[in-house]
Amino acid sequence: MNSVTARFLAACLSLAALAAHTPARAQALQPPEIAARQYLLLDVSSKQVLAEREADAQAEPASLTKLMTAYIVFNAIRDKKLNLEQTLPVSARAWAERKGGGSLMFIDTTMTPKVSELLRGMIVQSGNDAAIVLAEGVAGSVENFVAMMNRQAQAWGLKNTQFKNVAGLTEAGHYASARDVAIIAAHIITDHPEHYPIYSIRQYTYNNIKQDNRNMLLGRDPTVDGMKTGYTDAAGYCLVASAVRDTPAGKRRLLSVVLGTASKEARASEAQKLLNWGWQAWDGVRLFEAGKAVATARVWKGDKAEVRLGAAGALMVSVPKGEGDKLKTTVERTDPLLAPLTLGQRVGSIKITTTAGTPVATVPLVTLDAVPLAGILGRGWDAIRLWIK
């Protein structure tokens, strides 16, 4: 993945981009009745929200908190502050989690588990103790790590999320929303694909204690490959479930978030219901391939007369089933284009609508080539032509 594509993905998965990419017609398609306090269905491939209810309401995230905990740890591994084979000490604070009544990896102060083992303990077994050991290993203290979590949430523009702990325990001021949880989960998938397979592990044994992944959909739907469950008395039963399928437009990934369901079975069945509706009611349509120009434009004062313009990466959109052949693409750009232009520089927008004019998506229009400044004579000649024009 080049840097331009990476920036594009990061921008599209921000809170503002999710709102901008929500198709206006999404509400015309009525999703099934979902027995959850809040929910959201995201098409990760097109960055479109297909269905939602109370998705911006602040709620207790329970162990869905560990999605952000994992993301920060993955960043630390990427930045070589940790490595998977490194061992970490188990602090008295982590060991004390045994008294809290929550999920555990069952580690104690005599053990030195590897980072790779702790990640499985936190993700598969949902161990609160593993989350604390990892946080201390990355930041020196839980408090420092929580500050890192909140800084990341702010960097993504998550306005309905605030963390007070790393495990998801009930605590005043600890909250998130279904939309924010979806954004965190999507960032794990796109930013750290090398670690994402951990979320598909159905069972993990550490210290001769075998525990099942609580995500029931891993055993029910072969296309589901993650992600995370959560439960507290206040939060109810929560689940983020992600599934990927091969489609005529390429691989398509859907991600559902359900918060506040009534039981383990309910969170699985309601999440499955959302995913099934997303596959059945919506089609993914691939509009552009990566690097393919959708337009060319005149460049002034550059060493090239024209520049290719397009989307930063391959572009897929989701439309109600059967409407893929009813899309219209409109290119809007800022003229005149003056050199120098850098590769990937935004110069306008690509707007996708139905033939009736209903908005489907808007993505940045960027340059697919760099255009340096022309020499003095070329710049002078273009200056005269622009003045005449």
DSSP 39-81: EEEEETTTTEEEEEESTTS-B--GGGHHHHHHHHHHHHHHTTS
Q: How far is CA 164 from CA 32, 76, 148, 255, 371, in A?
A: 34, 20, 11, 25, 48
Four-residue CA torsion sign, 141, 144, 150, 154: negative
Tokens of 210: 């075998």
Q: Which residues are catalytic?
A: 63, 66, 126
Query: Which value, to the nearest 10 degrees, does the dihedral of the CA atoms of residues 101, 104, 107, 112 take?
Result: -140
Closest-CA residue to 184 (of 168, 214, 161, 166):
161
Contact criterion met (CB below 8 Å) for 238 and 226: no
DSSP alpha helix (H) spans, the chain: 3-12, 15-20, 65-78, 92-95, 115-123, 128-139, 142-155, 178-191, 217-220, 264-281, 376-388
Beta bridge partners of 42: 49, 255
Half-sphere exposure of 116 (CA within 13 A, CB side): 7
- Distance CA(129)–CA(118), nearest Å, equals 9
Secondary structure E strands in 248-326: 250-261, 282-288, 295-300, 306-310, 315-320
- Secondary structure percentages of the chain, helix, strand, coil, to 5: 35, 30, 35
Residue 230's SS3 state is strand
